Amino acid sequence: MDTITLTIDGQTATVPPGTTIRAAAASLGITVPTVCYHPHFTANSLCRVCVVEVERSRVLVTACSRPVEPGMVVQTHSPRVREARRTVLELVASAVDLSQAPALQALCAEYGADAGRYAGGEKRAFPFYDDNALYVRDYNKCILCWRCVQACGADVQYTFALTLTGRGFHTRVNTFENVPIPESTCVYCGNCVAACPTGALKGKREYQIENGLPLDPMPPGPGKRRRRSDGGQIDLLQSRERA
């Protein structure tokens, strides 16, 4: 089968097999909102903001990852879909600090998500990590989109410094065994920071400027790298506290 034809919001789309509903909608000029999806990473269907209604499907499906099928009839902005997105956004906004997440703020406004709807619920509360010279980590702003882990791992960098730990509400991004970044396999590529949509990961200088803090001296360049005493991985860019 060379192409698949389906209906999206009353329009006919003809796309190659394997195309996702999100991409098929985009081919018609229809934007399905996304949060965890990133064009360079594997879609993992985590945030559920992209859900759409598919005729004869019992549940809403994630447009970022679900491939199209012949004859599918899809609604991307039906009342049921909008209600689901609004609820997801309200749950996230009730637990996570979205103050530096403009894309999520815009979605909350568009869908009328009221962060106060679940007022009194548990908030995400984690330590602030300032343990290296190049970036800080504030997981109270983390929505667990997983992009940083993907950027660090098999989708981009193959460094595997970051992973997910914990269960349920207490799931969090972390280094393996919670070691400080300079003791992890991090190579300071910056891909995780660039991929983060919420400001949970932020360049150290940006953080210092925003907060009126004195700027650290610029970290040593690659020529100043050195090996760990145990002969293991490269140990560079030690934080001021650890230097």
**Interface positions with ligand FES (CB under 6 A):** 34-37, 45-50, 62, 64
Nearer to ligand FES, 47 or 236 (CB): 47
The residue (of 34 and 185) whose beta carbon lies closer to ligand FES is 34
Helix (H, G, I), strand (E, B) or coil at 187: coil
Minimum gap (Å) between residue 191 Cβ and ligand FES: 19
- Whether the Cβ atoms of residue 28 and residue 11 lie closer than 8 Å to each other: yes
Residue 171: CB minimum distance to ligand SF4, A: 10
60 binds, among ligand SF4, ligand FES, none (CB under 5 to 8 A by kind): none
Q: Which is nearer to ligand SF4, 81 or 196 (CB)?
A: 196
Question: Which does residue 107 touch among ligand SF4, ligand FES, none (CB within 5 to 8 A, set by kind)?
Answer: none
CB-nearer residue toward ligand FES: 64 or 74: 64
What SS3 class is residue 74? strand
CB of 23 to ligand FES, least distance (A): 12
Q: Report the distance separating Cα 225 and Cα 215, nearest Å.
A: 21
Do residues 84 and 60 make contact, with C-beta atoms less than 8 angstroms apart?
Answer: yes
**Three-state DSSP state, 87:** helix
Query: With binding defined as CB under 6 A, does residue 198 bind ligand SF4?
Result: yes
Q: Tell which phi-psi region holds residue 9, choosing left (phi > 0), alpha (psi between -120 and 50) or beta.
A: left
118 neighbors 90 (Cβ within 8 angstroms): yes
CA-to-CA dists, residue 186 to 4, 118, 162, 236, angstroms: 43, 37, 8, 10
Cβ atoms of residues 4 and 69 within 8 Å:
yes
161 binds ligand SF4 (CB under 6 A): no
Alpha-carbon separation of residue 172 from 26, 131, 162, 196, 209 (angstroms):
32, 17, 10, 14, 27
- Binder of ligand SF4 out of 22, 147, 202, 204 (CB under 6 A): 147
Query: What is the token pair recorded at 63?
Result: 């447009």
Min dist CB 203 to ligand FES, Å, is 25
CB of 61 to ligand FES, least distance (A): 10
> 94 is in the binding site of which of ligand FES, ligand SF4, none (Cβ under 5 to 8 A by kind)?
none
Closest CA to 76 of 49, 42, 103, 107: 49
Closer to ligand SF4 at the Cβ: 6 or 156?
Answer: 156
Residue ranges that bind ligand SF4, judged by CB under 6 A: 142-148, 173, 195-196, 198, 200-201
